[in-house]
Structure 1
Amino acid sequence: MVRFNLIGPFEIVAEDGRSYLPSTPKVCQTLALLLTRANEIVTADALVHELWGESPPRSAMTTLQTYVYHARRMFVAEQLLPDDRPLLVTRAPGYAVQVEDDEVDIKVFERLVAEAHADLGADRCESAVHKVGRALELWRGPALSNVPAGDLLTGHIVHLEELRIRALEIRIEAEGRLNRHRESIPQLRKLVNDYPLNEWFHSRLIMALGSAGRRAEALQAYQNLRRILAEELGLEPSPDLQRLQLELLGSRPQRTTQGPGPAGSGPAAQGPARLPVFS
């Protein structure tokens, strides 16, 4: 089975393990856009916009046809696919790549995250952690890091990054429900460093530290977030986080709260998560 890997440097891996990449950047860009919309028709106009933006040359359509021709020739010359298997087909008003979902890492990633989300909703937390782990293992670096990206590819890269954050939130939430607070602290410290404005990650770090009996560190983590928000945005932490600080200080009784989570479909959509009892 040929594999198309886009989560990281773009590469095409043949059944025998050989790896290929078109030598022409715009051929790579054309294939990458088609693969992000696998089994869908991508119009020629959309491809032209991706390749040249708002100022395409007069020869854009002819040049696009040349790029498609070179892509097809590569698959034949390198024997990446069986002779009788069409891959890149012309479908008015544009082109389509015909692949199985398991052949494109983006499709596998999206499926695993969706399954993990469903498992979390059904309180199958071990399964959710396992599937998210498999999904995140597909990340070999920034998506399409070796391909020039126009407006359309940039939008899809942003979508993938948001879905990666959603996957991380699902894993943290599932591990929290499994009472793995102490084990999640190193991961959460990295996440708040990587995503300093994500209050959900900060809230889970504070909760994990408090649950592990490290109240002073939890309070320091809150102060770190407060400083970041003040310096970067001129804002205070959310009301939920301010209440969490008071609970750490022992000024308020334990309550039920819920982190922001992915809008409409992340951990928070599963219902409120109860704060641990801090000692």
Structure 2
Amino acid sequence: MTSLAAPGARLAPQGHQAGLRIALLDGFRLIGGAEAIPVPGGAERLLAFMAMRRRAVGRLSVASSLWADATEGHAYAALRSTLIRMNRACRDTLLVTPSSLELAPGVSVDLREAQALAHRLLEAGPHDAGDLSVESVATLSSELLPLWYDDWLAFEVEDWRQLRLHALEAVVDGLVQARRFGDATAAAGVVVRADPLRESAQTALIRVHLAEGNQSEAVHAFDRFSRLLHVDLGLEPTPQLRDLVGRHVRSQRGGLHR
């Protein structure tokens, strides 16, 4: 179907009417209504690639990105073959011309919604209660296409990882201000588990303990991080983190140390 399009013509998309959704967080899914739609092999990566682009992309650029190890001719042929083998639902997600591909209007992408959430949280507060919800924490806890190791995806994965961790730290601050300490501890724990050596994450967790009045928890968290940082990287916590704990806790051990 795609190979027969007249020059300059676009295939009529049905994505808006079908209510199609591409999910990229915690694994790829194509969803129509409330049901998952089967996607032929090879088409998953094409749809995922296009779902991360906000404008039309030239066919050659798509082909060379997805089939980077192939010659230009073989990559172009592989793209054409993938388009031909697509089922109707997959074709409805794309606008296809002889020279370019683009995600069809009306097709939603969970990653885009999650990115918008993260950017809202990184703006100066106060934040909407919905953005500080348990559901928001779950969204920001989700990885982008885990177990996919394609070269074209590496930058997107790291970009989302950094964005979501910064946003989660902002969630922690908002939850502390709302005195929702249990939810704040859970959100901070997500960031700490994602990157135990990330000092801003450990700082967020320690701030929760201090705000809640749990000085011993703050000291224990500081000590665990200090040991981990020393063993793994031979580093010490920054003076800023030491000062944060020292201002709130009077150590009975003559000072904070490993």
Q: TM-score range by the shorter chain?
A: 0.7 to 0.9
Q: Does 1:114 align with 2:132?
A: no
Kindly report which structure 2 residues correspond to 1:111-150, keeping only aligned pairs within 5 A, or say none.
111-118=116-123, 121-124=124-127, 126-130=129-133, 133-138=134-139, 142-145=143-146, 147-150=148-151
Q: Which amino acid aligns with 2:154?
A: T
Could you tell me how far 1:127 is from its partner in structure 2? 4.3
Change in CA separation of 1:88 and 1:72 when aligned onto 2, cut-off 3 Å = farther
Change in CA separation of 1:61 and 1:147 when aligned onto 2, cut-off 3 Å = farther
Kindly report which structure 2 residues correspond to 1:150-229, keeping only aligned pairs within 5 A, or say none.
150=151, 152-229=152-229
Change in CA separation of 1:17 and 1:42 when aligned onto 2, cut-off 3 Å = same
- Return the alpha-carbon distance in structure 1 between the equivalents of residues 22 and 189 of structure 2: 33
- Deviations, residues 87-112 of structure 1 (Å, cap 9, x unaligned): 242364xx322334761111111122
**Which residue of structure 1 lines up, in the alignment, with residue 96 of structure 2?**
89
Q: Does 1:21 align with 2:51?
A: no
Preserved CA contact (<8 Å) 1:4 1:11: yes
**Which residue of structure 2 lines up, in the alignment, with residue 30 of structure 1?**
46
Change in CA separation of 1:187 and 1:87 when aligned onto 2, cut-off 3 Å = closer
TM-score, normalised relative to structure 1: 0.71
Preserved CA contact (<8 Å) 2:40 2:86: yes
Preserved CA contact (<8 Å) 2:171 2:184: no
Preserved CA contact (<8 Å) 2:130 2:136: no
Could you tell me how far 1:32 is from its partner in structure 2? 1.9
Q: Tell me the SS of whatever aligns to 2:230.
A: helix
Q: Which amino acid aligns with 2:146?
A: S
Give ranges in structure 2 of 5+ residues lacking alignment. 1-18, 252-258
Preserved CA contact (<8 Å) 1:7 1:139: no
Could you tell me how far 1:187 is from its partner in structure 2? 3.8
Percent sequence identity over matched residues? 19
Change in CA separation of 1:16 and 1:168 when aligned onto 2, cut-off 3 Å = closer
- Return the alpha-carbon distance in structure 2 between the equivalents of residues 224 and 186 of structure 1: 18
Give ranges in structure 1 of 5+ residues lacking alignment. 252-279
Q: How many residues align?
A: 233
